């Protein structure tokens, strides 16, 4: 009996996009967390259908800080994309630069998000509306905070640790996940800030 052996030594040790296992892990996370956001949005809409007046007994959240937050998070897509592209070119200095700019944007976002919580016009335990508003905003904030921690560690590693191509894959996938954080915010903004005024 003969044994056939494949020589795979010439295959690359890293890959970007769907050829990387990290990409599939990120997509799995996005699927799970996207489902959770979807369930929260459905809960909000269900509660809205149950009462004649919406928001029930409270003014809608003030527009200012929510809108500022939305502008900041949309603007943060630019450094995020530049970091992703630099990583895919294996351009370490630019990947390092743009990922740090992304961290600064995310911190600014957290500051305005904190101000957002002060202008929701309802407490988390006032009624079911208050609970779902705080929970939706809190869940999204948790994503931003964890993303800052993730990106902060990665950014620091780019400064102090050995850098190989796999680290650039991490940068690219970190950017992919951040797009989910941005994309998940837009429907929440419409639901919390615009829908109570328009519908």
Partner 1 sequence: MSSSTSPHASFDPWLLAILFLGIIGAPLLWLIAEQTGYTLAYQACDARSTSWVIVPTVGVLAIVGLVTFVVFRGHRTASTGRLPLPLLGWLGVGMAVLMIVVMAASAIAPMMLSPCD
Question: Residue 111 CB, nearest distance to partner 1 (Å)?
Answer: 17
Could you tell me the two tokens for 13? 């040790």
> Closest Cα partner for 185 from 81, 75, 101?
75
Query: Of the two residues 116 and 191, which places its CB atom closer to partner 1 in the complex?
Result: 116
Could you tell me the two tokens for 186? 């837009």
Helix axes 21-50, 165-189, angle to 10 degrees: 10
Residue 55: phi and psi, rounded to 5, are -70, 145
Question: Residue 70 CB, nearest distance to partner 1 (Å)?
Answer: 19
Could you tell me the two tokens for 159? 């400064």
Looking at the chain, the number of H-run helices and the number of E-run strands are: 7, 0
CA distance 76 to 12: 32
CA distances (Å), 129 to each of 25, 44, 53, 59, 77, in order?
Answer: 34, 7, 11, 11, 31
Question: Residue 33 CB, nearest distance to partner 1 (Å)?
Answer: 13
Query: Of the two residues 62 and 91, which places its CB atom closer to partner 1 in the complex?
Result: 62
Query: Of the two residues 3 and 118, which places its CB atom closer to partner 1 in the complex?
Result: 118
Question: Residue 109 CB, nearest distance to partner 1 (Å)?
Answer: 18
Question: Residue 114 CB, nearest distance to partner 1 (Å)?
Answer: 12
CA distance 7 to 163: 27
Query: Of the two residues 12 and 162, which places its CB atom closer to partner 1 in the complex?
Result: 162
Torsion from C-alpha of 139, 110, 66, 49, nearest 10 degrees:
10
Query: Of the two residues 1 and 6, which places its CB atom closer to partner 1 in the complex?
Result: 6
Provide the binding-site residues for partner 1, judged by CB under 8 A. Answer: 57-59, 117-123, 125-126, 131, 142, 146, 149-150, 153, 157, 161-162
Query: Of the two residues 36 and 74, which places its CB atom closer to partner 1 in the complex?
Result: 36
Question: Residue 118 CB, nearest distance to partner 1 (Å)?
Answer: 6
């Amino acid at each position: 009996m003969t044994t056939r052996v494949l020589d795979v030594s010439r295959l690359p040790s890293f890959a970007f996009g769907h050829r990387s296992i990290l990409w599939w892990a990120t997509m799995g996370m996005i699927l799970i967390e996207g489902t959770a956001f979807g369930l929260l949005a459905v809960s909000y809409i269900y509660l809205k259908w149950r009462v004649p007046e919406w928001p029930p007994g409270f003014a809608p959240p003030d527009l200012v800080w929510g809108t500022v937050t939305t502008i900041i998070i949309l603007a943060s897509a630019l450094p995020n994309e530049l970091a992703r592209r630099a990583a895919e070119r294996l351009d370490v200095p630019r990947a390092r630069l743009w990922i740090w700019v992304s961290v600064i944007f995310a911190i600014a976002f957290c500051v305005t998000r904190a101000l957002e919580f002060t202008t929701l016009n309802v407490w988390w335990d006032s009624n079911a509306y208050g609970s779902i508003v705080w929970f939706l905003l809190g869940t999204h904030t948790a994503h931003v905070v964890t993303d800052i921690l993730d990106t902060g560690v990665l950014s620091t590693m780019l400064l102090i640790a050995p850098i190989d191509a796999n680290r650039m894959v991490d940068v690219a996938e970190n950017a992919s996940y951040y797009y989910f954080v941005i994309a998940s915010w837009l429907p929440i903004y419409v639901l919390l800030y615009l829908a109570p005024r328009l519908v």
